[in-house]
Amino acid sequence: MANPRASTQLLAMLPDLDSMRIAETLVAFANSDGGTVVLGFDERGKETMHAEPEDVENVLRMAVEQCRPPVRAFLDEADSSTGGPALVIRVPRSTELHTLADGRMLVRVGGENRPLRGDEIRHLATSKATEDYETEAMPGASLDDLDPAIITEYVAKREERTRRKVITDRQHMLREMGALDSHGQPTVAGVLLFGRNPQAFMPQSGVVFVKFPGTEPRADGGAFGYGRREEINGPLARVIETSWRVVLEEMRVGAVVTGLERQEVLEYPEYAVREALVNAVCHRDYRTRGRRIEIRKFSDRMEIVSPGGLAGYITLDNIIEEHFSRNPRLVQGLFQWGYIEELGLGIDRMIEEMTAYGHPPPKFNATTYSFSVVLSNQRDRRGHFSVSQPITTPEGLTVNERQARSLQHIRDHGRITNRDYQNLCPDVTPETLRTDLVDMVEKGILMRIGEKKGTYYILK
């Protein structure tokens, strides 16, 4: 692996051979989307030690012994031509639920290992019990049902993104990524990613786009109907591309004036729409038949509805901070293809892009059978969104006078930064104001967006 970087959802940088810390990371990766452990490097990518292969094998054996049941983990060679590690530990996602010997159950969240609580454990256990549908053999499908041109395109994009040549033959690569089973038969994931006509096997795998001229699902004149309807089919890469093209054609173009310059802007920020679309394609429940992903465009909002509720231990309360994939092979395939920028960061940036546009943050709705994202295009004359209802805090929670002033600022401007808060309360120390904001985040009133100097807060 060249140029190690800080730990992420799929990468753990560990500076020493600490068997317990390795065991914690193995369990977290196995319970989540899998990942790679790099030993002997710190978070800045600086080498902290040189470990011999025998030492790594011994500590890995000790770490696996701390996992219940044992986690599958493999030592693998990495590209060390630019000073990176010679050996890394690969951990695949597991269909089982793993704990440590002391009873802790961990998952991977961003670049950290986080313990699960009671309800989260139950939800994850339920998800694991129905997992791996995407690696089941697709009944009636053969290698002839996969499109060689699509596979070639995927390989080229993957090599470009990873900067590593795919040196194995195509069938071996497809088996490794779960697109073929051990008998060489296409899986659900294989047909969805590379099929000539996936909808012949899974009619529910397409997308339906519907545009309504007003704010209700009616045509002009008030009758039931729509202005435009498109059925979008093909392998998932083409579904994403075509859906985006259709949405782009229907997004209105406005203008903003900055100084003396007039700039054209789309009705919605591109990233937010694409992220909502890609998430729907990646994370929908493909076992649910009879329902396709729906994109509903109204004059004041866009709704993207995905069949299947939230996966694993994800809830509406933790959807921004947490990451769990119902279809990890599809996610990994589309990530390597370039349709996903960074795993685990999409929702955060979607909110950031919407609020930067002057729109309200996205609304997320979840039921047992569906999940939807609602993007609003409402702005006020200053380019900020307006709040028609008074801001209220969750029942039983109170705020101090300074915090109330900050909430009023958010009502007027859509967000608040540390500098904004200091301008509101110039006689209060920055540390006290920082504590105020942290307190409202912990109480579930505010949501923190961004990092370091780019940090700001919006209503949760």
What CATH number does residue 251 fall under?
Answer: 3.30.565.60
pLDDT at 239 over 70: yes
Higher pLDDT residue, 453 or 239?
Answer: 239
* Residue 92 belongs to some domain of the structure: yes
Position with higher pLDDT, 422 vs 413: 422
DSSP-derived pairing of the beta strands 106-109 and 74-77: unpaired
CA-CA distance, 319 to 302, in Å (whole number)?
Answer: 20
**Mean pLDDT taken over the chain:** 86
pLDDT at 220: 61
Q: Looking at the structure, do residues 108 and 215 belong to the same domain, yes or no?
A: no
385 pLDDT above the threshold of 50: no
> For residue 381, what pLDDT is reported?
43
Which residues constitute the domain of residue 55?
11-115
Q: Return the higher-pLDDT residue of 17 and 77.
A: 17
State the total domains in the chain: 4
pLDDT at residue 90 in the model: 93
Please name which of 152, 146, 241, 155 lies closest in space to residue 195, comparing C-alpha atoms: 146
Residue 238: partners with Cβ closer than 8 Å, 6 or more residues away? none
CB atoms within 10 A of CB 173: 17
Instruction: Please answer whether residues 52 and 40 qualify as being in contact, where contact means their C-beta atoms are separated by less than 8 angstroms.
Output: no
177/383: higher pLDDT? 177
Q: How high is the pLDDT of residue 345?
A: 67
For residue 116, pLDDT over 80 is answered with yes
Condensed to tens digits (0 to 9), the pLDDT of residues 58-102 reads 999 999 999 999 999 999 877 554 455 668 999 998 988 999 999
Round to whole Å and give the CA distance between 399 and 395.
Answer: 12
Q: pLDDT at position 3, please? A: 46
Lowest mean pLDDT of 82-86, 262-266, 349-353, name the range: 82-86
Lowest mean pLDDT among 99-108, 122-131, 172-181: 122-131
In a domain, 381, yes or no: no
Domain of residue 438, CATH code:
1.10.10.10
Average pLDDT, stretch 29-34? 91
Whole-number percent of the chain with pLDDT over 70 = 87
435-448 mean pLDDT = 87
The whole-angstrom separation of Cα 17 and Cα 3 is 20
pLDDT of residue 384: 44
Q: What gap in Å lies between CA 311 and CA 68, rounded to an integer?
A: 23
Does 291 fall in a domain? Answer: yes
CATH number at residue 61: 3.30.950.30
Question: Which residues share a beta bridge with 37?
Answer: 12, 89
For residue 380, the model assigns a pLDDT of 47
- 8 A C-beta contact, residue 28 and residue 106: yes
Domain identity same for 96 and 233: no
Most confident of 30-34, 226-230, 322-326, 340-344: 30-34
Task: Give the pLDDT of residue 2.
Answer: 42
Same domain, 416 and 339: no
Are 87 and 40 spatial neighbours (Cβ–Cβ below 8 Å)? no
Would the pTM count as exceeding 0.85? Answer: no
Average pLDDT over residues 411-426: 86
Q: What is the mean pLDDT of residues 125-148?
A: 87
Task: Tell me, yes or no, whether 82 and 156 share the same domain.
Answer: no
Residue 452: is its pLDDT beyond 80? Answer: no
Q: Would you say residue 3 lies in a domain?
A: no
Same domain, 409 and 264: no
Closest CA to 227 of 302, 298, 295, 305: 298
Question: pLDDT band for position 27 (50/70/90)?
Answer: very high
Pick the range with the lowest mean pLDDT from 111-120, 272-281, 443-452: 443-452
pLDDT on residue 396: 59
Which band of pLDDT confidence, cut at 50, 70 and 90, is reported for residue 407?
confident
Read off the pLDDT band of 261 (50, 70, 90): low
The reply to whether 348 falls in a domain is yes
